[in-house]
Amino acid sequence: MIAQTVVLSAFLCSVHSFTIQDSLEKSNEYSGNTIEDDDFSISTLLERVNANVEEDSELSVSELLERANSNLIRSDNDPILTGGDIAIDSEAERNADPCTSRGCMWGKWTDGKVYIPYYIASHFSSREKAIITRGLESFSSFSCIRFRPSRSSDRDWLSIESKNGCYSYVGRRGGKQVVSLARQGCLYHGTIQHELLHALGFNHEQTRSDRDDHIKVLLQNVQSGMEHNFRKIATLNQGTPYDYNSVMQYHKYAFSRNNQPTMLPIPNSNVSFGNAKEMSRNDIARLNTLYKCLVISSGGVMMGGEDAAHPA
């Protein structure tokens, strides 16, 4: 009887231990904003932060970026940020698009593809590296852009690091070019696409030179000192229409000081905008146009790449 009791107790302890360990493993799996479930659609957030699954599934790329970059304590080593997440070297760059003032495109090879070297910093976990790599590789599905691991012979490359928030310089700058994807707050598929589009030469949608025909900026509701984020600049629109669904369009309450809208669509103020969680068809079209990707027509949308298809 005693022997049976000992065996039963050992079995129950084993089961209890396994349950705790299994629970801990699952808890650890969601302790950061990462996930490896490949069954998620590219149009949904592929990663989750902690237990806030319901909340984060509703956040747009714009909201995620603003949350990640708010209340940061910046050091002298951090670049100046404009537009919330665009890195610049001097205040003089705030009013100009570096791509139109100095040229910024990455070069195309004879095979018609644009190969962009990248390095992912070692401080990312293997899970986090997989998420970043998935974002990099998504561009090959609908364009001629091919991100590849950097080599010692590369003169220009993207260095993807977990710095202070989410940010990128606009366009090719030469040499080592940092793209910051902070481990806490930036590792989402849409935010990765957003920052890479900056690195490819694109600015925010609401800064387009023709934006006043499509949105009304309400500066009276903008946080003091953040007005520069709404300045118009010469952008690479590539003949595409203003896109409320662009992954580069900020949401209507961006940089609000009083929980009132900072932007309203016109002429119809009820149009939804700034809710993107991935690149839109117009984002893809202007990318392919800028880099002169060999494209095919699919429902009138410019596409590119070997497996030309809009992410579903």
User: For 110-123, what is each residue's pLDDT tens digit?
Assistant: 999 999 999 999 99
What CATH number does domain 53-200 carry, 1.10.10.10, 3.40.390.10, 3.30.365.10, 2.60.120.10?
Answer: 3.40.390.10
Contact 311, 43 (CB under 8 A): yes
The reported pLDDT for the residue numbered 28 is 36
Q: Is the pLDDT reported for residue 48 higher than 90?
A: no
Higher-pLDDT residue of 52, 61: 61
Binding-site residues sit at: 194, 198, 204
Structural domain boundaries in the chain: 53-200, 206-304
Give 177-192 pLDDT, tens digit per residue. Answer: 999 999 999 999 999 9
Q: Is the pLDDT reported for residue 10 higher than 80?
A: no
Pairing of strands 145-149, 114-120: parallel
53-200 and 206-304: identical CATH topology: yes
The CATH H-level (homologous superfamily) assignment of domain 206-304 is Collagenase (Catalytic Domain) (3.40.390.10)
d(CA 31, CA 13): 26
Amino acid at 22: D
The reported pLDDT for the residue numbered 95 is 59
Q: Spot the catalytic one: 93, 195, 205, 278.
A: 195
CA atoms within 13 A on the CB side of 155: 5
Binding-site residues for Zn(2+) sit at: 194, 198, 204
- The span from the first CA to the last CA of the chain, in angstroms, equals 62
Quick check: is 66 catalytic? no
Q: What sections of 148-271 are H helices per DSSP? A: 189-200
Q: What is the mean pLDDT of residues 281-291?
A: 94
